[in-house]
Amino acid sequence: MTMLRVETIEVVYKRVITAVQGVTLAVGERQIVALLGTNGAGKTTTLRAISGFLGLDDARITEGSITFNGHRLDNRPPHQIAARGLTLVPEREKVFPNLTVAENLMAPVPHGGGDQRRQAERVYHFFPRLAELRNRVGGLLSGGERQMLAIASALMCRPKVLLIDELSLGLAPIVVDDLKRRLVAIRDELGISILLVEQSAAVALEIADYAYVMENGRVVFDGDRSRLAGHKDVQEFYLGGTGSARRSYRDVKQYRRSRRWYG
């Protein structure tokens, strides 16, 4: 059953830059959905549109709608969206640098209330490393630990859908493998859905039930894991197809970037 539905949305930055155009996607219950695409494709913009982060950048959803369990979410303030059960792990600045790990976990306001100490224990169970670092401040963590803390503190909001921007950015492959396994465990044990933005299709394909590929602000391809893995373009651009079949960077560049200027 579909929980989150994004319906042909268009997002315009500063009234002139259309970053996302006619994007439609759906996230079902207990699904892990991946959103793929190269730099500047509009993935972050789409996640921000869902999580209500656009207003601060002078951007708006000018068309389409976002619904979550029947409630309209487009152009709502971030804390109201969080209160519905959608929590974002942003691309950058994802933890509070001067709060300790434990405080980073206690600060979030849980969606629907509940005992935060119990929830913290559950979260520590997914990320035992964080329990060891309890009293270290967020700003001193390594990239991987910070990503764990960001996901952990997002879980403290008790989300129904976890939105993660760039899970693997800047992380060692072994750390990414570890995080992937934990995400699957989190999905299975907490019964939540995850919408995952990724540069690397290989990473997403291993755990995603369904994937969308964005290019120039549009969804150019979507399908389940097997369809995606079999798709020719996806193989070439994102999985790094076989030797000679791989197009040169020049060819890739002809896919023009998504910046479009209107009068």
* Structure tokens given for 158: 């008790």
Question: Pick from ligand ATP, other proteins, Mg ion, none: which does 76 bind, CB < 5 to 8 A by kind?
Answer: none
- Contact at 8 Å (CB) between 103 and 137? no
In the region spanning residues 40 to 59, those forming contacts with other proteins, defined by CB under 8 A, are 51-53, 55-56
Cβ neighbors of 28 (< 8 A, separation 6 or more) are 1, 2, 3, 193, 210
Residue 189 binds ligand ATP, judged by CB under 6 A: no
- Here the tokens at position 239 are 């999985």
Regarding beta strands 193-198 and 59-68, do their DSSP bridges make them parallel or antiparallel, or are they unpaired?
A: unpaired
Phi and psi at 77, nearest 5°, equal -70, 150
By beta-carbon proximity to other proteins, the closer residue of 82 and 203 is: 82
Closer to ligand ATP by Cβ: residue 1 or 56: 56
- Is residue 13 within 8 Å of 5, Cβ to Cβ? no
The footprint of ligand ATP on residues 222-261 (CB under 6 A) is 257-259
Round to whole Å and give the CA distance between 87 and 152: 11
Measured distance CA(175)–CA(127) in Å, rounded? 12
Residue with tokens 């300790």: 100
Which does residue 193 touch among other proteins, Mg ion, ligand ATP, none (CB within 5 to 8 A, set by kind)? none
Please give the residues from 33 up to 62 whose contact with ligand ATP meets the rule CB under 6 A.
37, 39-45, 57
Piece of 4-12, 59-67, 76-84, 169-177 that binds other proteins (CB under 8 A):
76-84
Q: What's the token pair of residue 11? A: 């997002």
CA distance 168 to 191: 22
Decide if residue 111 touches other proteins (CB under 8 A): yes
DSSP element (H, E) containing 104: helix 101-106
> Residue numbers of the site for Mg ion (CB under 5 A)?
44
Q: If binding is defined by CB under 8 A, does position 220 make contact with other proteins?
A: no
Closest to ligand ATP by CB, 125 or 257? 257
Query: CB 251: neighbour CB atoms within 10 A?
Result: 11
Q: Which does 90 bind (CB under 5 to 8 A by kind): Mg ion, ligand ATP, other proteins, none?
A: other proteins
Q: How far is the CB of 84 from other proteins (least distance, A)?
A: 10
Select the residue interacting with other proteins from 10, 103, 177, 233 (CB under 8 A). Answer: 103
Both tokens of residue 121? 């224990």
- The total of other beta-carbon atoms located within 10 Å of residue 237's CB is 21
Query: Which residue of 2, 65, 91, 96 would you call a contact of other proteins, by CB under 8 A?
Result: 96
State yes or no: residue 68 binds other proteins (CB under 8 A).
no
Contact residues toward ligand ATP (CB under 6 A) are 13-14, 17, 19, 37, 39-45, 57, 199, 257-259
Contact residues toward other proteins (CB under 8 A) are 51-53, 55-56, 77-79, 82-83, 87-88, 90, 93-99, 103-104, 106-111, 153-154, 156-157
